[in-house]
A and B are shown apart, each in its own frame.
Chain A
Amino acid sequence: RKEVEQDPGPFNVPEGATVAFNCTYSNSASQSFFWYRQDCRKEPKLLMSVYSSGNEDGRFTAQLNRASQYISLLIRDSKLSDSATYLCGIQEGSGNTGKLIFGQGTTLQVKP
């Protein structure tokens, strides 16, 4: 089993739709969770950190489910500009130096 798994998609949705992605992780000692957005041939850009209590930033909501070992990203009112690959990054537990373990990414295509 991979350490961090994402459904690669693509998720094809119309503008205005709500879409959600999940990211599962295998190490129960994982401590920190992040969502990044990566456009084609560009660097990953930090979208948001994921806190135990959840995190919301405008149209984006991130949740953490420790019991089932996954994080989620919800995008409301999708825009054409949301089309990108969404990467989850996980930092593991004790002794960890902070290195991020990434999933393969989920591709989102928002259509007019």
Chain B
Amino acid sequence: NAGVMQNPRHLVRRRGQEARLRCSPMKGHSHVYWYRQLPEEGLKFMVYLQKENIIDESGMPKERFSAEFPKEGPSILRIQQVVRGDSAAYFCASSKAGGPYYEQYFGPGTRLTVT
């Protein structure tokens, strides 16, 4: 499967725990974007990364959220001390290059439920 891969597909965390979401881009893609879709809301950009670089984190909440895309391995979105309001679907997308015009392809998402 050469598509964008995300795991886990479903994640349940208690309030105060940490959540780690992983994303492997499509083969041949080196640019990764994270988006969040809250229930009954639209898809919102969070962060854009290349290998070992955060390019744009303008959509990331100021606290508790961080992202990385190491030289080896998948991109990780980390949420510390989760709260109920973090319950959402988190989608990763990848593109062949950065900037406008390049099409982004989405992974199946991770559905985070905070109890």
Contact = CB atoms under 8 A, between A and B. Distances in A.
A104 B98 CA distance: 24
A45 B102 CA distance: 15
Nearest to B6: A43
A69 interface: no
Interface in B72-115: 89, 91, 93, 95, 98-109, 111
A97 B98 contact: yes
Interface residues of A, number: 26
A93 B108 CA distance: 28
Contacts of A96: 99-100
A91 interface: yes
A43 B91 contact: yes
Q: How large is the interface on B (under 10, 10 to 19, 20 to 34, 35 or more residues)?
A: 20 to 34
B42 A99 contact: no
Nearest to A87: B43
B46 to A, nearest CB: 9
B45 A44 contact: no
Given A96-B99, A97-B55, A99-B59, A46 B104 contact: yes
13 contacts: A41-B111, A43-B91, A44-B43, A44-B91, A46-B105, A49-B103, A87-B43, A98-B48, A98-B98, A98-B104, A101-B45, A102-B44, A104-B41
8 pairs of A and B residues whose beta carbons are closest in the complex: A97-B56, A43-B106, A91-B100, A99-B45, A31-B100, A32-B100, A102-B43, A104-B42
